[in-house]
């Protein structure tokens, strides 16, 4: 059973869910393309979304590395990161994932795949955010409550 738990921890992670959604969106763009590319404004928006999502994730991962916090979502945290980008958002990496997916849907013209964005939001909130916040609350109690009071989840 321990090997199944290890496999789950290795595979059931947000980047895998994001990659799956990206594969679905790209496949949709190839099999059922939307007419036209949306023009330069759509391509600019796509680039800003993808770039912004990557920037959020990089800033968050760098801050977690500095604080010696784990980025593996199924692990019990050793530190409550509240500095850097985490002063603005409790979930900057997940927000970055959503921006990246939305940006690639626009870039590829995968308009039919845009519903994957709220689906990924739901997956991230249900499978990762809620359990992570429960672990943070259990471990840090009042400090986590104070952090939640001043920092929005998906800001």
Domain with 107 in it: 16-150
Q: How much is the pLDDT for 36?
A: 75
Q: Using DSSP, state whether 153 is helix, strand or coil.
A: coil
The verdict on residue 7 lying in a domain is: no
Cβ-contact 128, 94 below 8 angstroms = yes
Cβ-contact 25, 107 below 8 angstroms = no
Which DSSP category does 12 fall into? S
Q: How much is the pLDDT for 3?
A: 67
Cβ-contact 97, 120 below 8 angstroms = yes
Written as one string, the DSSP assignment of 69-105 is ----TTSPPSS---SGGGGT-S-HHHHHHHHHHHHHH
0.95 surpassed by pTM: no
Which DSSP category does 34 fall into? P
The verdict on residue 93 lying in a domain is: yes
**Tens digit of each residue's pLDDT (9 = 90 or more) over 28-83:** 999 998 887 779 999 999 999 999 999 999 999 999 999 999 998 888 899 999 99
Mean pLDDT throughout 6-15?
A: 80
Q: How much is the pLDDT for 55?
A: 98
Q: Which of 9-13, 42-46, 131-135, 146-150 has the lowest average pLDDT?
A: 9-13
Structural domain tally of the chain? Answer: 1
The verdict on residue 77 lying in a domain is: yes
Q: Please enumerate in sequence order all residues whose Cβ is within 8 A of that of 38, keeping only pairs 6 or more positions apart, or say none.
A: 106, 109
**Residue 2 — pLDDT band, cuts 50, 70, 90?**
low
The verdict on residue 10 lying in a domain is: no
**Residue 109 — pLDDT band, cuts 50, 70, 90?**
very high
The verdict on residue 155 lying in a domain is: no
The verdict on residue 133 lying in a domain is: yes
Q: 125 is written with which tokens?
A: 């909130």
């Amino acid at each position: 059973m321990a090997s199944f738990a290890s496999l789950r921890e290795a595979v059931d992670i947000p980047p895998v869910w994001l990659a799956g959604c990206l594969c679905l969106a790209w496949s949709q763009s190839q099999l059922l393309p939307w007419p036209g590319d949306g023009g330069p404004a759509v391509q600019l928006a796509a680039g800003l979304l993808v770039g912004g999502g990557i920037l959020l994730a990089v800033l968050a991962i760098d801050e977690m590395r500095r604080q010696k916090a784990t980025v593996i979502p199924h692990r019990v945290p050793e530190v409550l990161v509240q500095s850097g980008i985490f002063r603005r958002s409790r979930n900057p990496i997940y927000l970055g994932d959503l921006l990246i997916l939305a940006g690639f849907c626009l870039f590829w013209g995968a308009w039919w795949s845009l519903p994957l964005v709220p689906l990924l939001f739901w997956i991230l909130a249900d499978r990762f955010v809620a359990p992570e916040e429960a672990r943070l609350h259990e471990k840090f109690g009042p400090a986590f409550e104070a952090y939640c009071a001043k920092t929005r989840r998906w800001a």
